[in-house]
């Protein structure tokens, strides 16, 4: 089963521009996490935002969470070619022992 | 930080054979591990939840007899793809949490190709 829907599915930008990806989910959550995946590789954890948080920053990343709208956004500022990857949001339910449920992902292409 | 090790990273096998994938939590005990499957250009789909000392919980549509999961210790879970067929070719990823509400640590994945 999949919880989240990312928007857009694909995004192409130039280096230096900002990239914004959105994620919507359906059920209550304990936290929401963003991951990055390069083609054919494993996942890299980017940032975790808890349900009682509204915004979080990590370097060039900014994540927002709106639990009333069941949505989150990931902003990558001053993008670089190396940011080219697929980005997934994943939700963690409040119940203990539950798995992360992933959204469909956004494929970001940053051209130099 | 916590590390999850997955092995092998890539395997090519003939149709009809069985393939075992191992997932180890290296510096923490994981009573629960999770197995995901990912098709090319698609997202991760949860296959099953592996519980130490008990039977795995499979997601709807995942064949228990096809994908055997064994979580024999607090640091090791294995996924065996039995009688593999070309349609089983996929990227399989395991993961584990240190505790409730914590982030999930992922293995590096196994690319299975069934000829």
Mean pLDDT value across residues A71-90: 97
Rounded distance between C-alpha atoms, residue B57 and residue A95, angstroms: 15
Q: Could you tell me which of A4, A99, A23 has the C-alpha nearest to residue B103? A: A99
Residue A25 has pLDDT above 70, yes or no: yes
> What is the reported pLDDT for A96?
65
Which chain A positions have a beta carbon within 8 Å of B45's beta carbon? 2, 102
Q: Give residue-wise pLDDT tens across range B60-98.
A: 999 999 999 998 888 999 999 999 999 999 999 999 987
Q: Give the pair of three-digit tokens for residue A112.
A: 């130099």
Using the beta-carbon criterion (under 8 Å), do B45 and A2 form an inter-chain contact?
Answer: yes
Distance between first and last Cα of chain A? 37
Given CB atoms, is A32 within the 8 Å cutoff of chain B? no
Chain B residue set in contact with A, beta carbons under 8 Å:
31-32, 34, 36, 41-46, 49, 51, 59-60, 91, 93, 95, 100-101, 103-109, 111
Using the beta-carbon criterion (under 8 Å), do A99 and B46 form an inter-chain contact?
Answer: yes
Residue A74 has pLDDT above 60, yes or no: yes
Category of B74 on φ-ψ map: left (φ > 0), alpha (ψ -120 to 50) or beta: alpha
C-alpha gyration radius of chain A: 13
Mean pLDDT value across residues A80-96: 90
Which chain A positions have a beta carbon within 8 Å of B93's beta carbon? 42-43
B53 vs B2, B6, B8, B33, CA distance in Å? 22, 20, 23, 12
Task: Check if the beta carbon of residue B32 is closer than 8 Å to that of residue A97.
Answer: yes
> What is the reported pLDDT for B41?
86
Residue A1 has pLDDT above 60, yes or no: no
Q: Give residue-wise pLDDT tens across range B7-35.
A: 999 999 999 999 999 999 998 888 889 99
Task: Check if the beta carbon of residue B22 is closer than 8 Å to that of residue B4.
Answer: no
Rounded distance between C-alpha atoms, residue A73 and residue A35, angstroms: 12
Using the beta-carbon criterion (under 8 Å), do A90 and B104 form an inter-chain contact?
Answer: yes
Using the beta-carbon criterion (under 8 Å), do B43 and A104 form an inter-chain contact?
Answer: yes
Using the beta-carbon criterion (under 8 Å), do B108 and A2 form an inter-chain contact?
Answer: no
Q: Give residue-wise pLDDT tens across range A3-22.
A: 667 788 999 999 999 999 99
Rounded distance between C-alpha atoms, residue A55 and residue A73, angstroms: 9
> What is the reported pLDDT for B31?
82
Q: Give the pair of three-digit tokens for residue A103.
A: 């959204």
Residue A73 CA, distance from chain mean position = 7
> What is the reported pLDDT for B80?
97
A7 vs A28, A47, A99, B41, CA distance in Å? 20, 18, 22, 15
Q: What angle do CA A39, A40, A46 make, to 5 degrees?
A: 65
Given CB atoms, is A103 within the 8 Å cutoff of chain B? yes
Residue B59 has pLDDT above 90, yes or no: yes
Q: Give residue-wise pLDDT tens across range A40-65.
A: 788 999 999 999 999 999 999 999 99
Rounded distance between C-alpha atoms, residue A97 and residue B54, angstroms: 14
> What is the reported pLDDT for B1?
60
Rounded distance between C-alpha atoms, residue A32 and residue B83, angstroms: 37
Predicted confidence band of residue A94 (pLDDT cuts 50, 70, 90): confident
> What is the reported pLDDT for B51?
84
Q: Give the pair of three-digit tokens for residue A8.
A: 């857009």
């Amino acid at each position: 089963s999949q919880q989240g829907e990312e928007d857009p599915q694909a995004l192409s930008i130039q280096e230096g521009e900002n990239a914004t990806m959105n994620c919507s989910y359906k059920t209550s959550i304990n936290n929401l996490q963003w991951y990055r995946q390069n083609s054919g590789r494993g996942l890299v954890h980017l940032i975790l935002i808890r349900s009682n948080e509204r915004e979080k920053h990590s370097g060039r990343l900014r994540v927002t969470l709106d639990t009333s709208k069941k949505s989150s956004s990931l902003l990558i500022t001053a993008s670089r070619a190396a940011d080219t990857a697929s980005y997934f949001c994943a939700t963690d339910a409040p119940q203990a022992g539950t798995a992360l449920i992933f959204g469909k992902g956004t494929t970001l292409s940053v051209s130099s | 930080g916590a590390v999850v090790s997955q092995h092998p990273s890539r395997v090519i096998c003939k149709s009809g054979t069985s393939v075992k994938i191992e997932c180890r939590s290296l510096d923490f005990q994981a009573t629960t591990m999770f197995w995901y499957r990912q098709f090319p250009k698609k997202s991760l789909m949860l296959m099953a939840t592996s519980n130490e000392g008990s039977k795995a919980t499979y997601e709807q549509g995942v064949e228990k007899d096809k994908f055997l999961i064994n979580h024999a210790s607090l640091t090791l879970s294995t996924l065996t793809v039995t009688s593999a067929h070309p349609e089983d070719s996929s990227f399989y990823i395991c993961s584990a949490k240190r505790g409730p509400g914590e982030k999930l640590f992922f293995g590096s994945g196994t690319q299975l190709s069934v000829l």
